[in-house]
Amino acid sequence: MKLKIKKGDTVIVLSGRDKGKKGKVLEAFPKSGNLIIERVNVVKRHLKPNRSFAGGIIEKALPLNICKAMLVCPKCHEPTRVKLSDAGRACKRCGEIVDKVK
- Report d(CA 23, CA 45) in Å as an integer: 21
Asked whether residue 89 is assigned to any structural domain, the reply reads no
Tell me the per-residue pLDDT of 26-68, one tens digit each, with 9 for 90 and over: 999 999 999 999 999 999 999 999 999 999 999 999 999 999 9
* 95 Cβ contact list (under 8 Å, min separation 6): none
Asked whether residue 22 is assigned to any structural domain, the reply reads yes
Q: What's the structural domain count of the chain? A: 1
Provide DSSP, 67-80.
Answer: GGEEEEPTTT-SEE
CATH of residue 66: 2.30.30.30
- Structure confidence at residue 17 as a pLDDT band (50, 70, 90): very high
Q: In the chain, how many H helices and how many E strands?
A: 0, 11
Asked whether residue 17 is assigned to any structural domain, the reply reads yes
Which residues form the domain of 58?
Answer: 10-74
Per-residue pLDDT averaged across 7-20, rounded? 97
- Structure confidence at residue 1 as a pLDDT band (50, 70, 90): low
Total-model pTM: 0.88
